[in-house]
Amino acid sequence: MQTNLKNYLAITAGYWAFTLTDGAIRMLVVLYFHLLGYSAFEVAMLFLFYEFFGIVTNLVGGWLAARLGLNITMHIGMALQVIALLMLTVSDNMLSVAYVMFAQALSGIAKDLNKMSAKAGVKTVVADSQDYSNQSSKLFKWVAVLTGSKNALKGVGYFLGAFLLDVAGFRASLAILAGGLFLVLIITLILLPRDIGKSKSKPKFSQVFSNTAAINWLSGARFFLFGSRDVWFVVALPVFLVEILDWSFTQVGTFMAVWIIGYGIVQALAPRILRKQTPTGLTAKILAFILALIPLGIALSLMQSPSLQTPDINNTEYILIIGLFIFGIVFAINSAVHSYLILAYADQDKVAMNVGFYYMANAAGRLIGTVLSGFIYQTYGLIGCLWVSTLFLVLAGSISFMLPKQIN
């Protein structure tokens, strides 16, 4: 048990450090390139390869992890993130769209290698436990803590990125983040066993596509769940806060950080919120439809607000702040349920590939959400983004009807 706990803590620590840099680089790129005069859609396009290569990485990364071990793929991801951070430290005249998109592609590969490795690693650690009767509840608890703490730290990363941009500048901020992550890489590489998560057999690449119906349906629901968040959160919200509400970079970073930290805390507490009841597909369906009501309510409220495009923006701020924090609470519980279900549905010897396939759908949802976030905001504003978010959540809930009502 002590070895399992040590491995779990090492995985979590590596995931935490990576997540800080992931949140920080996101805010640094969004705010700095908006400062350079990029439109909302152009900023969104900078993340196109970040999300696209996340899809590819999850598909291939699960197969690689099954053959090489989760320790190797986790640290390849961390090393790529260090390279991506350092690539952006060049002078402004070298920061062409193509160059930044390539650096973001490396960051996207890094993020999904790290996330897939950490999530699959938890399944492996829990499965090695001798307490077979309590494995389901322990799995839900440990994955909720891992995912929730990760998201809380991503919020800290959002604040850190915006704060560093104000006090240290763009390039110094990137260098600080790269140095810290490299140090953690060395420490966790030493601590984790090399064969963790390695499949007993050598799986063929064709096996990365899941033939389990529950995993396929859950992946479809995940696509729309995360698309519903990113369609307003990634580009539209920070640009709206700067352009319309005239917030400073630090204010924007702080608000988004507090939102994500709160989201992560709720996610970590999901087992308690659900009264330690092991969630099922029915849980995911109910939560998705409840969640759909929130962006719908925000959009309808903003449509009634006369202050949306005027200097008198207090009403708009109240609607956004209250509405988005309610959204964050329900979204966090829904996401925690999904994170548990994929590990519960996954085959023990193919856990890395099953999780990789599932997070491929997650990355695809983030990709479409990111692109639409810039395009819809530029065309229809923040209200348009919230309407698309509502539609995506209705689709996520509808797909969840196909999930098993009980865990086998």
Quote the pLDDT of residue 312. Answer: 46
Nearest to 89 by CA among 164, 39, 183: 164
Q: What is the pLDDT of residues 63-77, one digit of tens each?
A: 676 667 777 788 888
**pLDDT beyond 80 at 161:** yes
Quote the pLDDT of residue 327. Answer: 93
Could you tell me if residue 346 is inside a domain? yes
- For residue 95, what pLDDT band results from cuts at 50, 70 and 90? confident
Percent of the chain with pLDDT over 90: 17
Most confident of 90-94, 285-289, 403-407: 285-289
Comparing 64-68, 237-241, 291-295, 312-316, the range with the smallest average pLDDT is 312-316
Could you tell me if residue 270 is inside a domain? yes
Q: What is the mean pLDDT of the chain?
A: 79
Q: How many domains does the chain have?
A: 1
**d(C-alpha 352, C-alpha 383), whole Å:** 38
CA–CA distance from 172 to each of 34, 161, 165, 167 (Å)? 18, 11, 9, 10
- For residue 311, what pLDDT band results from cuts at 50, 70 and 90? very low
Tokens of 181: 């992550």
Could you tell me if residue 279 is inside a domain? yes
- For residue 241, what pLDDT band results from cuts at 50, 70 and 90? confident
Comparing 86-90, 180-184, 235-239, the range with the smallest average pLDDT is 235-239
Do residues 114 and 77 lie in contact, with contact meaning Cβ atoms separated by under 8 Å? Answer: yes
Quote the pLDDT of residue 158. Answer: 82
To 5 degrees, how large is the angle CA 109–CA 115–CA 119? 150
Containing structural domain, residue 375? 2-194+210-402
* Count helices and strands in the chain by DSSP H and E runs: 14, 0
Could you tell me if residue 201 is inside a domain? no
CATH at 275: 1.20.1250.20
Could you tell me if residue 276 is inside a domain? yes
pTM (2 d.p.): 0.69
Q: What is the mean pLDDT of residues 31-58?
A: 79
Could you tell me if residue 117 is inside a domain? yes
The letter for the amino acid at 398 is S
Quote the pLDDT of residue 108. Answer: 84
Who has greater pLDDT, 360 or 365? Answer: 365
Do residues 17 and 209 lie in contact, with contact meaning Cβ atoms separated by under 8 Å? Answer: no
Q: What is the pLDDT of residues 313-332, one digit of tens each?
A: 567 778 888 888 899 899 98
Most confident of 22-31, 261-270, 326-335: 326-335
Q: What is the pLDDT of residues 5-19, one digit of tens each?
A: 677 677 777 888 888
Could you tell me if residue 50 is inside a domain? yes
Q: What is the mean pLDDT of residues 22-36?
A: 85
Could you tell me if residue 408 is inside a domain? no
**d(C-alpha 54, C-alpha 51), whole Å:** 5
Quote the pLDDT of residue 221. Answer: 92
The DSSP 8-state label assigned to residue 92 in this structure reads: G
Do residues 382 and 142 lie in contact, with contact meaning Cβ atoms separated by under 8 Å? Answer: no
